[in-house]
Amino acid sequence: MRNVLIAGGAGFIGSNLTLEIQRRWPRARVTVVDDFRSASFQNLLGFRGDVVAKPCHEFRSKTNFDAVFHLASSTDTTVHDERLMIHDNVEGFRAVLGLKADRIVYASSAAIYGIGAERMSEESPPRPANVYAFSKTILDNLGRGRAVGLRYFNVYGPREAHKKAAASMIWQLW
């Protein structure tokens, strides 16, 4: 990879990906787009690329990217402002889909399956139980055939401390 964009690259998952891409492809031009509302500059200590401090829906570029990773998202499931959650998550992804990119990978969520006792699979119909899950369902609808969505389940690890009460239960109990 020569030219990579990581939306949400200063957040928990994004910063881990950013630094790993930098390690594996040291000659790659890596650009992070992040508005830093739920991220931390400390997650990018040692990063040698470019950082654009703005929301994804405001980012424009004529660059052709080898890969775009869209990890920017409002992830706080206690947010009840539906307009804000849907706008931030969906419009940011819509902007990413408008970029020139050979590959686009985005963060979906297991939350789209909702609460239930049945086994989850990609064929299971979405049953979002909150606005966050609904916004991720819309991303899956928009990304179908255009991008690869990863439905994360209980992610935890380094660089999530800045999330405080919103950090994973595993991190909080550690």
Active site residues: 132, 163
Distance, CA of 86 to CA of 96 (rounded, Å): 15
Beta pairing class for 104-109 and 67-70:
parallel
List the alpha helices (DSSP H) in the chain. 12-24, 82-86, 92-97, 131-143, 169-173
33 and 72 Cβ atoms separated by less than 8 Å: yes
Closest-CA residue to 166 (of 74, 80, 85): 74
Residue 90 one-letter amino acid:
V
Tokens 């049945």 found at: 118
